[in-house]
Structure formats: structure tokens, C-alpha cells
Amino acid sequence: MSRPTRIKICGVTTREAARAAAAAGADAIGLVFASGSPRGLDADTAAALLESIPPLVTTVGVYRDLRPESDPMIGRVDVLQLHGDEDEALIAGLARPVIRGFPFSPEAVARWDACPNVSALLVDGPRGGAGETFDHGALAALAERITRPVVLAGGLTPENVGEAIRTVRPYAVDVSSGVERAPGIKDPELIAAFCVAVRQADGCPPGPAGNPR
């Protein structure tokens, strides 16, 4: 059996949503520290959320224009996901693995795939966090040239993630607005449906108690 597609539920804002994501079989949970986002967290709320995430579920801190010297949470999460003006020099100085997020373009894929300090590429729609998709076929056409793991994001839902996986064959998929009933409010049923759809695309039946693992 081929490697299962990893699942990241991003923009989690409550303990209930974190528990629902873990129970559904998510591999990673994203906590947003970008100002102006309806999913943005302060340090105290994020610290409480981290305590509710079970072992072996990866925690990802999502940033736009990270300033490492002034962020209290940078050492509390497992992985950093960057979407702003962070350049190669800043990334080289970080002590955590880095997922570089960016709107899809062949030029951006080539730039960040060549960065030795980037662990994975999160390829997004035109506006990150807006739930907008992009041409998955164009990304798939670049697959043979990409050396880093690809995390597919942008407009994914329980209804379309299966086809997206079959087209791109990414290392992981990332969902936020596609499993919400309102901006920043995750729906446990949609989270579970998303994880089931990913496993169906992988050819893996759901496991006991709704956990596809």
C-alpha cells in the first residue's frame, strides 16, 4: 500500500476542535498567529490549546511576517509555517522545521524548493486562508522537478479533496475554511468527513471509532 496522505487541520481555535481533529485522524493541527485573521490566537489561548493536543499529533505555528525575537510561542510548537516576507536568511536562522507557504506559481515553487532550510512546500490558492483553489493540474505538471514534500492547500473541502489528491498526489493536505461552519469555528462533522474522504482517496478504509489510522 502506498504512503497515506498526511492531514493538517489548520486554524484551530478551541480545545473541542483540536480534540475533534485528533479523533478524526489528523496528523497535524495548525495554530494561527497572524494578526487580522479570524483564526488568530493570542499566546495564552494558544498555550491552553497546546495542552489539549494529544502526543504524536504535530503542532504547527502559522505566521505571516514572523519576527522570531518577539514571538513567545515560537519555541512551543513543533513546526513553523511561514506565509509572509520571511526570506531565506531568516529561515536559515530558525531552530524549528519550516513549511514555506505561498500562492501557487511555478516561480515560487522553484524558489522555495531550492531553499535548503525549507522542509516542505505548502502550495496555496491566490489568497492564503481565503478558501480559494487553483489549477491543480499545473502543479501536478511540475511534480517530477519538485524535491521537497508538497502540502496542498487552498479551497479544499470534504467534497473535492479526493480529486485533488488523485491529481497532485501530495505528501499532505491542509484544510481550514473547508471544515468550518463560520470563519474560525470548526465543525467536528466536517473535520471527520474530510479525513474520511482523504482515506478513501488513498484507498484506506476508515478505522475504528472514526479514526482512519
The catalytic residue positions are 10, 124
C-alpha cell at 81: 509555517
Kind and range of the H or E element at 8? strand 6-9
End-to-end CA distance of the chain: 14
Distances 10 to 69, 94, 140 between C-alpha atoms, Å: 24, 21, 23
Cell numbers 505561498 label which residue? 102
Question: String of b and e for 116-146 (b: at least 16 CB within 10 Å)?
Answer: eebebbbbbbeebbebebbebeebbebeeee
Number of Cα atoms under 13 Å in the Cβ half of residue 73:
27
Q: Which three cell numbers stand for residue 56?
A: 504524536
Please give the Cα distance from 117 to 175 (Å, whole number).
24
**Cell (9 digits) for 181:** 461552519
String of DSSP letters for 122-142: EEE-SSTTS-----HHHHHTT
